[in-house]
Amino acid sequence: MSFQNPVFIPGPTNMPEAIRKACDMPTIDHRSPLFGQILRPARSGVQQVIKSTDAEVFIFPSTGTGGWETALTNTLSAGDTVLAARNGMFSHRWIDMCERHGLNVEIVETPWGHGIPADRYADILAADKTHQIKAVLATHNETATGVTSDIAAIRRAMDAARHPAMLFVDGVSSIGSMDFRFDAWGVDVAVTGSQKGFMLPAGLAIVGFSPKAMEARSTATLPRTFFDVTDMGKGYAANAYPYTPAVGLLNGLALATETLLSEGLDNVFARHHRIATGVRAAVGAWGLKLCAATPNVYSDTVSAIMTPEGFNATDVVTLAAEKYGVAFGTGLGAVAGKLFRIGHLGSMTDVMALSGIATAEMCMVDLGMDITLGSGVAAAQDYYRGNGSTKSMMDAA
Ligand SMILES: *Cc1c(COP(=O)(O)O)cnc(C)c1O
């Protein structure tokens, strides 16, 4: 088995050596003051990465999915209505979780490959005169389709309707890799996990709560125990947890946020944009199309690439793993077999991306697709040569 190749799945992402080592710690007493020295920078680092001054950051031993559950159960009651668009597998799963919690979900069915239709949200919110909708859900980056939605536009739609609903944003595959503005967008709960933009192993659910979301606890009656942010907050007040924290991962998170901030968030976002643009240049050179319908929704963290009629996109992923030892993402749900995904978030450079592009190209030629070997690599090289570099990441690491 080889672990030498970078992975190109949209999470878990590649881990920088220093961040991986930071997770490898001797046992400490998590009720000692030493723990506070790990917890405090991890929480304040996350707050800075999501661009907030007053979000309460809570970190659970869990994954992004546990972050969704934290958002819902601490703020809502069974029978409450929430508004959500379904435009891919992750938004679908979030809706499914809402329904299992007895929430009434007003679903805006959206073609996969399209972003959240803010204008539809605007109409629905304006029509909701009695304010039945308690929360508006938005998946910032739909990892299944490589589609980024405009969260600022959703906030504008809410404000235009003078609607008091809370805004919950799944930022699992955007936070730490793409611009995310908790305060400026008026986000009430932001959700992510450790294994994507933060370049850590899976194991942490990371959430930010606005003062308004914190207030909603007093009326929210959905059952919550493990994910109760009130219990967690009491723990934090004593530099502790209500149970046993994942100390190594928290230490890794403290370093991950420090690394992102020292690269500079703007540099991090520019690096992801540049890498993604090179991948898209390759896709164009192959004569293929993205699942993302229009350039304004192209994701800078994952590209979902449609394979031609008559080919099973999953074969590209299988062959890459078996023959070249490289991992790509398969199509999920409604797009299974129709696309494969190149994840390019987290710890990624131009040169790493080139190896992924080269591998995908070899696999597609192996499978008999009408693609010229080297065409995608050359298109990406051409773009990378002329558009700065990803050296910011190496300097920060
Ligand atoms: C990965 C992902 C999730 C699920 O996160 P887990 O950590 O696997 O629970 C949710 N939403 C989006 C957009 C994701 O990319």
pLDDT at 397: 65
Rounded to the nearest angstrom, the gap between the alpha carbon of residue 318 and the centroid of all alpha carbons in its chain is 24
Specify the ligand 1 atom closest to the Cα of 193: 7
Ordered DSSP codes for 275-325: HHHHHHHHHHHTT-EESS-SGGGB-SSEEEEEPPTT--HHHHHHHIIIII-
pLDDT at 37: 97
Among protein residues, the one with the nearest Cα to ligand 1's atom 5 is: 64
* Section 98-120 average pLDDT: 98
Which residues have CB under 8 Å from 70's CB, separation 6+? 58, 60, 189, 191, 205, 207, 224, 227, 229
What is the chain's mean pLDDT, rounded?
96
65 Cα to the center of ligand 1, angstroms: 6
Best probe residue, ligand 1, of 68, 142, 170 (max atoms within 8 Å of C-beta): 170
Best probe residue, ligand 1, of 172, 204, 300, 341 (max atoms within 8 Å of C-beta): 172
CB of 94 sitting under 6 A from ligand 1: no
Give the Cβ contact number of residue 223 at 10 Å. 9
What letters, b where the CB count within 10 A reaches 16 and e where it falls short, cover 95-108? bebbeebebebbbb
Specify the ligand 1 atom closest to the Cα of 171: 13
197 Cα to the center of ligand 1, angstroms: 11
CB of 198 sitting under 6 A from ligand 1: no
Per-residue CA distances from 333 to 76, 106, 192, 338 (Å):
28, 21, 22, 10
Give the tens place of pLDDT for each residue, 170-226: 999 999 999 999 999 999 999 999 999 999 999 999 999 999 999 999 999 999 999
The region of weakest confidence among 2-16, 36-50, 318-332, 369-383 is 2-16
